[in-house]
Amino acid sequence: MYCKKCGSKLFGDEEVCPYCGEPIDQKESKEDIVSKRLSILEENKTVREEIDAINKEYSFSAMKEEKVEDPGSIWYAVLGYFVPIVGFILFLVWKNEKPKSAKQAGIGALISFVLNLVCIVPIVCCIVGSSFNGM
């Protein structure tokens, strides 16, 4: 026999369900109990769907990030020029989040790198070459 309120299986001739306290009707059929359990399951399913919808709404709203102001600054270019590796790293880190600032840092690093190639490398080559000529 099963409880008509909670659907728990009952053993013996209890007058009250030990799980929910509902008075036991001895004449209740198994079909009534099955239909009661199905209605409880449907209620639980509806509640679960509502909870899932609420969780989904809040998780997506929590994931939305506010756009960060990115005015860009010439100082990132200056930093990239004097410390090219930092400018390059800032470019890589910020290219999706702060594209203007990333571009400034990248341009500064690129200018520094090109000027080093154009100016410093020939000077070093001349010094090294003259040391070999002098021998």
Take residue 103 and report the two structure tokens written for it.
């571009």
Evaluate if pTM is beyond 0.75: no
What are the boundaries of each domain within the chain? 1-64, 74-133
For the chain of 135 residues, list the mean pLDDT of each consecutive stretch of 10.
77 80 71 79 85 77 62 88 93 91 94 91 86 69
CA pair distance 56, 8, nearest whole angstrom: 33
CA pair distance 20, 43, nearest whole angstrom: 18
CA pair distance 46, 38, nearest whole angstrom: 12
**Cβ atoms within 10 Å of 84's Cβ, excluding its own:** 20
Task: Supply the pLDDT for residue 62.
Answer: 54
